[in-house]
Chain A
Amino acid sequence: MMGIQGTARHAHRRVARVVGVLVAVALAVAVLSLLTGSYALSVAQIGEILWGRSDDIGQLVVVGLRLPRIVASLCVGAGFGVAGAIFQSLCRNPLASPDIIGFTTGSATGALATIVVLGQSGLATALGSVIGGFAAAALVYLLALRRGLTGDRFILSGVALSAMLMAFNEYLVTRAELERAEAAKTWLFGSLNGVSWSQVTILAPGIVVLLLCAGLLWPGLKMLEIGDDLAVGLGLSARRSRLVLMGVGLGLAALATALAGPIHFLALAAGPLARGLVRPGDPGVVPVAIMGAVLLIVSDFLAQHLMAPFQIPVGLITGAIGGVYLVVLLTRRTGGCG
């Protein structure tokens, strides 16, 4: 009896410790991001700026450029991370993250279409992203019909659709005017360059609300992991839970994509990495979200500074790390699952 209670207490402490460390890392990198760059500032200057007692340039750089980028990276990272963990649980497969199975690529297609074809931005792009993501998910679902969400057929259908959509996205870029095409191209890699408050204020609240929904639905997600029959037996409306969770996961991936492009690797890795740190046991939604946020803010810091003054798209950084991670995952994974 003591053993089991002790386990529960240890688990809580472990989660708290991991969350504490991750939050500290995120804060440290956030402060570094505020201070450094082509226009370097001191801590004292930042303080003055944030209290509104500073010159216009400092104000512009910190409040107008760096702060929205930090907020965006935290929201997008958390959004992708939780979206990935949701689909990995629903499909019982570590490869089933929205960036691998074509959902984020679909969102990118939808967003690109609004930018290139309709010449829209802001809310319309977000809407296009959501529609594109849901359409891609519906297509993958139809392609894998009768086999259900679990099983490799679902993943393979998604990978195939993802490849087709990527080609189509490239085509959309070629249709755009030169200036737009360059921005679109960067965005397609996944980038936080030029993220502004106007985008953040539209999309970040949506992501936060969906993260809260994910938190509420998390126990149901964990029940679905032990199989539909048992979950129903334990009082879960399995079909409805699955649909709602898919909606939340898709929504998170779509809004995150609308804000920062189809950034790879975050959705795939945040869940397993958080689980690895909290282990043993399920990490819960908070460590997963914060892990996603930390991964992106660190990657974006690297993207901004590795080749300064050139800013490379953060998607290239995450893509490089993600490739290594995927190889490790595939070589360590034995046999099929689901």
Chain B
Amino acid sequence: MCYNANKERTVTMQAVDVSHIIKSFADKVVVNDLSFSVAQGEIFGLIGPNGAGKTTTIRMMMDIIKPDSGDVTILGEKLSEATKNKLGYLPEERGLYRKLGVLDSIIYLASLKGVDAHSAEERANELLNQTGMLPHKGKKIEELSRGMGQIIQFIVSVIHDPELVVLDEPFAGLDPVNVELLKGMLFNLRNQGKALILSTHQMNEIEELCDRILMINHGRLVLYGNLAEIKSRYRSNSVLLEFEGELGEVPGVAEKRTHKGYVELALDGNATPQQILERLVSRGIVISRFEIATPPLNEIFLRVVGEDHE
């Protein structure tokens, strides 16, 4: 399932526009001439192997570090202190003041985003209630479990109603219930027209949530665009078939691979899936599933990273 952005929404500007950014640390180029954009009202996936430069790219978008060259435009503006209040960020390496109470932590960090104490408390109660964390609001951070702490961090990243939210590995350490809860909240934000950037190694989450993706490796762009288009680009020209009856030889099928409960038919270079379907129907075979096979994102990831490595 892929959730698309609200097409009816008039998009006046990109939420993020990154143009030819380069960043080096101690003579090592970590991000190399990277350009991409993220629209408002979409969930954008940022993927890549460890050390690919994802966190450095995110830090440059968050104005935590400056690019050596290139431009980052957020919500149509050059990055500035004023822009920061419109950004929400859940870093991969996270933590809170261990001795501080839950509510106090949220209110303090919201105040750094320009939210007054009264509004912050009101919104914090709302979000704590939404996430089932209200009974814990009087506790100290150190009394919370890791997953609970993560929910609090997520609340901190959205309490100021940001236009752009960047989430680095948001599902790590969460139980399945909280993963679903978080996904629901991300869709809500997306439906409100917010732009979300999701960086994770969990490809199934990317496939489920994201409209478009950017894959980087060694600091360079290797895949970028609509997820469905990318998957179709990497499809292996085969179809998946569940049926009743005897299949026999089918003209146009180069190879037949049997899996548990279904058969994968690899087509030769001349036949199209449509022709294969017609041939099967004409033979009177009862078909319960006919699907053009697209590789899972995980496979594409491994293939691209592998090719890039060679």
Instruction: State yes or no: do A and B come from one complex.
Output: no
Taking Cβ atoms with an 8 Å cutoff, the residues of B that contact A are: none
Question: Measuring CB to CB, which residues of chain A are less than 8 angstroms from any residue of chain B?
Answer: none
